[in-house]
Amino acid sequence: MDGRIDLLKMIAFLDCKQGKTFAELEAKFGVGRRTIQRRLAGIKAEFLDVEIVNVSSWEKCSRIRVIRRSPFESEAVRKDQLLLVGSLRLAAKALRCMNFEEDADDVEDYVNYLMRNMDRQTRVSCERDVARLVNCAKFPNLRNFALTPPGVAKRLQLAVMAERPVQVSTRNGCRVTGEVIGIICDREEGPSAEIRSAAGGCTVKFSDVVDVKGLDGLLGLQAI
């Protein structure tokens, strides 16, 4: 996990028009030339949508940068690509209906990432077709639920992945300490966290949660 985070940090640092020198990379990340070269090789191997290019090949001041490629770069978008975008937009709409706002934002961000290199005319045409599909879609068995405070859904999801005890605080002043073992998506009650504690099991609605403590170390690894 840490190694991949290092690669993502380097990609973010190199994602600039003017590029960076090896000296700047070494100073930024506090490692030597060989480690930088290994990480660059790792980026090439693991991130197929990222291209490393030379901005300047002058021997004394060689500068490199990354270019993030999109799979949707052709002037004519294929039907399967258009349907993929439509499916993702529909998924985002359904997530919002279930009060997974942050997850919906992530899906939308990914769609924008896929489409970022389209020329303006192609993107406008694609967005028009997809909007027609999304606007016609109805989710009769889903309804809007009470708003979940920002960050709560992500923390509860991380708690499931971490498999370690956390402390969940609710609006009414209760605190539950235990392991989040599941997320229940009830179309009548909305999303809830299933928690196993020393006192037994319980479920807590996302909308009732005000804080989730015990994930500071894990959350720190998410920063790029």
Question: What CATH code is carried by the domain that includes residue 170?
Answer: 2.30.30.100
pLDDT tens column, 147-193: 778 888 888 888 888 788 899 999 999 999 999 998 887 777 778 89
Q: Is residue 155 within 8 Å of 103, Cβ to Cβ? A: no
Residue 144 lies in a domain: no
| Helix (H) or strand (E) segment spanning residue 70 | none
Q: Domain count of the chain?
A: 3
Rounded to an integer, the average pLDDT of 132-140 is 78
Q: What is the percent of the chain with per-residue pLDDT over 70, rounded to a whole number?
A: 87
Q: Are residues 125 and 159 in the same domain?
A: no
- Is residue 107 scored above 50 in pLDDT? yes
Residue 142 lies in a domain: no
Residue 147 lies in a domain: no
Separation between Cα atoms, residue 47 and residue 24, nearest integer Å = 22
Residue 41 lies in a domain: yes
Please give the residue range of the domain that contains residue 106. Answer: 79-136
The number of residues in the chain equals 224
| pTM for the whole structure | 0.55
pLDDT tens column, 208-220: 999 998 887 665 4
